[in-house]
Chain A
Amino acid sequence: MSDKTRILYCNCTYAQVVPKPVKEAVLRELAQSDIGFEAVADLCEMSARRDPALKRLAEGGAVKIAACFPRAVKWLFSAADAPLPCDSTQVLNMRVQSAQEVLAAALSPGLEPNLPRGKETRPAPSELPAS
């Protein structure tokens, strides 16, 4: 992982929508590694308060965020006047990815930006090319 890429972990403390085994495994592995990282209790709660820490986190350069859906994370930060830079933010989705997948991406070198860059609509299955 690039020395300059930061890691932000969201514990989604106030809901049970992130599988507990996933978030626990991710936090445990991060805490037992030798890297510095930021952990927040709940990005939703911070966004609602327009916590200035979000601005600091958004403006600090490349960041990998272990949280939930990229679209939700993008607009949670935006709602707090702390827009995330699309080209240097990678969101790892603990709602749908396994802990191993999240950790592999979080601890690997490089960054794969994946914030939506505009209105994106997934085509219906019938519109997808046959495989």
Chain B
Amino acid sequence: MSLNDQTALRVVLYEGTGAQPLEPQQRYDAMSALLDQGFAVTRAVPDGSLPAADRSSLLVLGRFDGGRPPVAVDAQNEVDIRFEDIDGCGTSRIVEMVENVRAEQKAVKPGDWKPWFPVIDYDRCTNCMQCLSFCLFGVYGVDSGQHIQVQNNDNCKTNCPACSRVCPEAAIMFPKYRSGPINGDVVSDADLQREKMKVDISSLLGGDVYQMLRDRSDKARSRFSKERDADKALTERQKCLVKLAQAGDIPPEVLMSLPSPEEIQRRAQEAKAKAEAAIRNQP
């Protein structure tokens, strides 16, 4: 099942009409514990309203009057709504109750996958396809309009920010990265001109990338075939990965998980072909 097909269980702490408010400490403890377990929690207060429905299943928790939780169904039969009374329940009991409902409804189990994947800043992206050409794990692809996009984010290697290093515009973010601009901090001139980044990109692609980008509009259609040599790119890519690993940017386990040289070559050529096709088909 792909990430996108999974439904989530959303929890509502209901303190509106027909329910008693929770004690502040109990509310904080419950919310904190549920968030740590990966659940989304909405606090609904008197005079407030329940949030609009989405694809999530809803579990509404509250200290309901008389200890009797209401029963409700979605008239359009799109959202599964459950009510549970939590009067007298401790935090661990509440978490257990929520987890049981999640399992029963086969909703996504939070925490199974660490959300590490590239996020593209399209204000900066020039659609140069270097990320697509670089990534060996098939994370990137193009949409019907030949625009770069992240298509398989769960293929991304946890804690590896290498593709953000090859982006000449610092347009690729990993929000959980430790430092800027990869973490989403504002990009500075210094980031763009950082010598290390220039060296890395040149090493990776085996050419003067900045000159190549300046000429991009004229040469886009033939750029890859003229300026890139697959064998050289492969060798330089491996050298650069070692260099990046030494600099602390790529975890050893990612390097260890690289496929055989033959497989790397096959994937590199596949990625290159995708990038070439995308450039060729750009309007």
B243 touches A (CB below 8 Å): no
Residues of B within 8 A of A75 (CB): 119-122, 173, 184
Closest to B3 in A: A49
Contact with B along A52-83 (1 / 0, CB 8 A): 11011000100000001111110110110000
- Is there contact, CB below 8 Å, between B183 and A39? no
Q: How far is the CB of A60 from chain B (nearest CB, A)?
A: 7
**Contact between chains at A122 and B189 (CB < 8 Å):** yes
Residue in B closest to A17 when the chains form the complex, CB atoms: B176
Please report the C-alpha to C-alpha distance between residue A45 and residue B8 in the assembled complex, in whole angstroms: 11
B38 touches A42 (CB 8 A): yes
- Interface contact B56-A41, CB-CB below 8 Å: no
What separation, in Å, do the CA atoms of A51 and B154 have in the docked complex? 15
In the assembled complex, B4 has its CB within 8 A of some CB on chain A: yes
Which among A14, A24, A68 is the interface contact of B32 at CB below 8 angstroms? A24
A47–B119 CB distance below 8 A: yes
Contacts of B192 in A (CB 8 A): 121
Report the Cα distance A38→B51, complex, angstroms: 9
Q: List B contacts of A1 (CB < 8 A).
A: none
| A72 close to B184 (CB less than 8 A) | yes
Q: Is B175 a contact of A68 with CB atoms below 8 Å?
A: yes
B215 at the interface (CB under 8 A from A): no
State how many angstroms separate the Cβ of B92 from the closest Cβ of chain A: 18
Residue interface bits A15-33, CB-to-B below 8 A is 1, else 0: 1010000001001100110
| Interface SS, B side | loop
C-alpha spacing A69/B185, complex, angstroms: 6
Partner of A27, one of B32, B37, B119, B186: B32
Complex formed: what's the CA distance from A78 to B125 in Å?
Answer: 14
From known contacts A75-B120, A95-B183, infer whether A39 and B176 are also in contact, taking CB-CB under 8 Å. no
A49 contacts which chain B residues (CB < 8 A)? 3-4, 6, 8, 108
What is the size, in residues, of chain A's interface with B at 8 Å between Cβ atoms? 54
Q: Contact: B187 with A122, CB < 8 Å?
A: yes
CB proximity to A under 8 Å, residues B184-203: 184-190, 192
Name the contact of B3 in the complex, choosing from A36, A48, A55 (C-beta under 8 A): A48
Whole-angstrom distance between the alpha carbons of A42 and B39 in the complex? Answer: 9
On chain A, the residues within 8 Å of B178 by CB distance are 17
B237 in contact (CB, < 8 A)? no
Are A41 and B45 interface neighbours, CB within 8 A?
no
- A32-B115 in contact (CB<8A): no
Q: Are A37 and B55 in contact (CB under 8 A)?
A: no
Min CB distance B56 to A, Å, is 6
Contact A31 B27 (CB under 8 A): yes
- Select B188's contact among A24, A60, A122, beta carbons within 8 Å: A122
| B282 interface residue (CB < 8 Å to A) | no
Q: For B48, what are the chain A residues with a Cβ–Cβ distance below 8 Å? A: 36
A-B residue pairs in contact (CB < 8 Å), sample of 9: A44-B176, A47-B115, A48-B3, A48-B115, A48-B153, A56-B52, A79-B120, A116-B186, A120-B187
The 7 A-B residue pairs with the shortest CB-CB distance in the complex, in nearest-first order: A72-B184, A69-B184, A44-B115, A31-B28, A45-B115, A15-B176, A11-B35
Additional A-B contact list (5), CB under 8 Å, known A17-B177, A44-B175, A122-B187? A32-B27, A41-B39, A53-B55, A72-B173, A122-B186
List B residues at the A interface (Cβ < 8 Å).
3-4, 6, 8, 10, 24, 27-28, 31-32, 35-45, 48, 51-52, 54-56, 108, 110-111, 113-117, 119-124, 150, 153-154, 173, 175-178, 180, 183-190, 192
